[in-house]
Amino acid sequence: MTERDLPIHHRAEDPGGRLWSFGKVIWVHCPECDKAAKKDNHGVNCNHCGHTTIQSRKPSNNRWATPASSKQKCTHCGEAIGNEDRPTARTKDGELFLQVRCPHCGETDDYPARPGWTTQRFGYEPGPPLFLATQVAGETLWVQNLAHLDALEDWLGAKVRERGPQPGLTMMAKLPRWMKASTNRAKVLRGLAQLRERAEKAGIDE
């Protein structure tokens, strides 16, 4: 990483707003190719491999599936691939298959699957892991997108942080203590700089 001056400055005012008001997209690891993919209200969209999720509001969504065997092993490395629901199911010749990228060796394959429970049971769909995340001081520092990154950098880089006009639990007010601690400021800012570099390399532009 190139050594850059950390963006430490004197004063910042809470811009207000909640997490979802910072940017419209969330960058995640594409469930198929693992590169940066955009997630919004309509699902995940990957410009690299073309993966698209169509989120369905129907109670049983057969795109969300789980491996038919909870002990399914990776066909490449033989390690267990896990049995969580994933949005990458397809029907082939009347049989349901699930595309799974092995967490151990990274190889992707199709496995026999059964419909998942995620959407039926909880009514929400856990997304793929965030693309812009890193470890700082033993904690996970993550941002959803560049607007979120800019806002955090400005706020956490300030020596004096002032409440803005918006009362209540804004995104800034809800940040965890470790992130706001002045002793962690340099580490956190370096973490954010790393995320910015990763975003640039991945072609993330919003």
Contacts of Zn ion in 102-161 (CB under 5 A): 102, 104-105
Q: What minimum distance in Å lies between the beta carbon of 135 and Zn ion?
A: 24
Q: For residue 182, what are the contacts with CB-CB under 8 A and spacing of at least 6?
A: 159
Backbone angles phi, psi at 126, to 5 degrees: -65, 135
Task: Indicate whether 51 belongs to the interface with Zn ion (CB under 5 A).
Answer: yes
Q: Select from 67-75, 92-100, 147-155, 188-196 the region that touches Zn ion (CB under 5 A).
A: 67-75
Token pair of 22 as six digits: 């910072």
Apex 41 CA angle, 64 and 16, nearest 5: 135
Pick 8 or 77: Cβ nearer Zn ion: 77
Query: DSSP 3-state helix, strand, coil percentages of the chain (rounded to 5)?
Result: 20, 30, 50
Task: Indicate whether 203 belongs to the interface with Zn ion (CB under 5 A).
Answer: no
Q: Helices then strands (H, E): number in the chain?
A: 4, 11
Contacts of Zn ion in 11-40 (CB under 5 A): 30, 32-33
Residue from 28, 74, 146, 152 that binds Zn ion (CB under 5 A)?
74
**Interacting residue ranges for Zn ion, rule: CB under 5 A:** 30, 32-33, 46, 48-49, 51, 74, 76-77, 102, 104-105
